[in-house]
């Protein structure tokens, strides 16, 4: 196994390492693990250096406009046709794909779950994925799925690519190594990574935990990109320089391996005699990346009122309808609250969008009790939600001095489509049956006088 790196922080075996990355969002990168492996001045020489094969990986139609055209040229030990063969169907019964509308006993409502239970058996990353909701239709490449994961074993000789969509991975407990065709990424809680549609990868554990846990947004639609800043201007929110793409790294391994594929909601597997992570050099703009959520520069109200949550959008996948996302990835990071004469938490609202939320660490200011790290909530389209009774009391009675919300990181997968609950989510033992009661203490304060009843 060769790779272009400096000191490295080891996976579950320990040790220290620091991987190299290339900065920038959507850049055209070039990287090689061996000197001279990357052709210069052309993409497909008659004979590549080191006896490599040239292969293009396309993330868009060939004729897509230049600004949205995505492809990378890979120079690999074997072409990808040697990483396939006679597939056989397999099943991951807890990983579901839209459209997925099933009968279950749970009625419509605002929902919240505590974290997934720690598994008693050995599960790798793929086996540990549990679909909570699906939305849209994978066959027409619209919508998304919200997954949670929990696992305790490495993918050693197992490899995977998803033909249905890109995977936005959000660790909550335990750092992970995501080894892709185009290089390695170490991703810790408070960081995210994205594996593009069709890109081969495997996941291993870093450090020592009882289990590794987090969330995944599977985006069937147009790829995630940075939102337009509009009047905000050229800076703040997620800055392009803070996105990191891995340098080339490869495995030259001749052992029995398994390649697994997700295609139109079904799973297939083929056995091969070598590692498919054999890209020695590559160039292009279709590549995985990671991002540290702590580098997000929030913008908010500095005089009065609470801004729309869209001001915290890190990534957006457009739907084709301007201003309406197929899916947004939104975070609620540490920030100062300074607004005067203002109810500072998120206001009560109903929304045409559907919101799946998770908590990475700390407390969420609108729900300080019950919503815990590793937990999840679902507020589907047009279902009312907002701060619980405790949050309302604190916000309406507290002194309006500058306050810093610190040690907190929540996020939201928000989509224009209704999110259909899976049977697993409806029957999950950590479903909080009393979630709806968090608003029961919101009293009637109207008494016909301008002052109202605040007793």
Which residues have C-beta within 8 Å of that of residue 146, sequence separation ≥ 6?
Answer: 131, 132, 133, 134, 215, 216, 217, 218, 356, 376, 413, 419
Nearest to 373 by CA among 345, 410, 405, 335: 410
Task: Report yes or no: 282 and 291 within 8 Å, Cβ to Cβ.
Answer: no
β-bridge partners, 168? 194, 217
Which residues have C-beta within 8 Å of that of residue 3, sequence separation ≥ 6?
Answer: 33, 183, 184, 247, 248, 249, 250
Task: Report yes or no: 75 and 39 within 8 Å, Cβ to Cβ.
Answer: yes
The tokens for 183 are 């290089």
Q: How far is CA 329 from the centre of its chain?
A: 8
Per the residue annotation, which of 83, 104, 306, 379 is the catalytic one? Answer: 306
* Rounded Cα–Cα distance for residues 13 and 427 (Å): 36
Would the annotation count 177 as a binding residue?
A: no
Helix (H, G, I), strand (E, B) or coil at 428: coil
* Rounded Cα–Cα distance for residues 181 and 46 (Å): 23
Helix (H, G, I), strand (E, B) or coil at 241: helix
Would the annotation count 385 as a binding residue?
A: yes
Task: Report yes or no: 144 and 222 within 8 Å, Cβ to Cβ.
Answer: no
Q: How would you classify the pairing of strands 2-3 and 249-250?
A: antiparallel
Which residues have C-beta within 8 Å of that of residue 305, sequence separation ≥ 6?
Answer: 339, 342
Q: Measured in Å, how far apart are the chain's first and last C-alpha atoms? A: 69
Which residues have C-beta within 8 Å of that of residue 443, sequence separation ≥ 6?
Answer: none
Q: Is 306 a catalytic residue?
A: yes
Q: What is the DSSP letter of 216?
A: E
Nearest to 283 by CA among 45, 37, 48: 37
Active-site residue list:
306
Feature table: binding site: 349, 355, 364, 385
Feature table: binding site for homogentisate: 364, 385
Feature table: binding site for Fe cation: 349, 355, 385
């Amino acid at each position: 196994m060769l790779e272009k790196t400096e000191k490295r922080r080891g996976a579950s075996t320990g040790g220290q390492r620091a991987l190299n990355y290339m900065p920038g969002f959507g850049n055209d990168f070039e990287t090689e693990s061996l000197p001279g492996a990357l052709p210069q001045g052309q993409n497909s020489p008659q004979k590549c250096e080191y006896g490599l094969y040239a292969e293009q990986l396309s993330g868009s139609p060939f004729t897509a406009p230049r600004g949205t055209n995505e492809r990378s040229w890979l120079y690999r030990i074997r072409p990808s046709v040697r990483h396939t063969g006679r597939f056989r169907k397999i099943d991951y019964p807890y990983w579901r794909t839209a459209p997925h509308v099933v009968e279950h006993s749970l009625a419509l409502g605002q929902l919240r779950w505590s974290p997934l239970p720690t598994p008693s058996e050995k599960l790798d990353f793929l086996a540990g994925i549990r679909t909570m909701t699906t939305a849209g239709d994978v066959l027409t490449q619209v919508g998304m799925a919200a997954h949670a994961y929990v696992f305790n074993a490495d993918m050693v000789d197992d490899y995977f690519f998803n033909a249905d969509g890109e995977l936005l991975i959000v660790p909550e407990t335990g750092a992970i190594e995501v080894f892709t065709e185009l290089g390695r990424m170490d991703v810790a809680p408070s960081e995210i990574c994205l594996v593009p549609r069709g890109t081969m990868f495997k996941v291993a554990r870093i450090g020592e935990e009882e289990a590794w846990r987090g969330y995944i947004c599977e985006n069937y639609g147009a790829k995630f990109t940075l939102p337009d800043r509009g009047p905000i201007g050229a800076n703040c929110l997620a800055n392009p320089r803070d996105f990191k793409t891995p340098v080339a790294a490869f495995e030259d391994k001749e052992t029995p391996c398994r390649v697994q594929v997700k295609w139109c909601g079904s799973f297939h597997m083929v056995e091969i005699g070598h590692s498919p992570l054999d890209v020695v050099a590559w160039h292009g703009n279709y590549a995985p990346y990671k991002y540290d959520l702590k580098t997000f520069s929030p913008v908010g109200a500095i005089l009065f009122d609470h801004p729309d949550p869209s001001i915290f959008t890190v990534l957006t996948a457009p739907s084709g309808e301007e201003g309406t996302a197929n899916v947004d990835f939104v975070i609620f990071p540490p920030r100062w609250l300074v607004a005067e004469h203002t109810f500072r938490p998120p206001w009560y609202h109903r929304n045409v969008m559907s919101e799946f939320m998770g908590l990475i660490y700390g407390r969420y200011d609108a729900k300080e009790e019950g919503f815990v790290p590793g937990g999840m909530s679902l507020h589907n389209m047009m279902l009312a939600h907002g701060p619980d009774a405790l949050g309302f009391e604190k916000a309406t009675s507290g002194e309006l001095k500058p306050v810093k919300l610190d040690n907190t990181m929540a996020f939201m997968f928000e989509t224009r489509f209704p999110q259909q609950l899976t049977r697993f989510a409806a029957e999950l033992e950590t479903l909080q049956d009393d979630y709806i009661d968090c608003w029961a203490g919101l009293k009637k304060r109207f008494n016909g006088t301008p002052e109202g009843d605040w007793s």
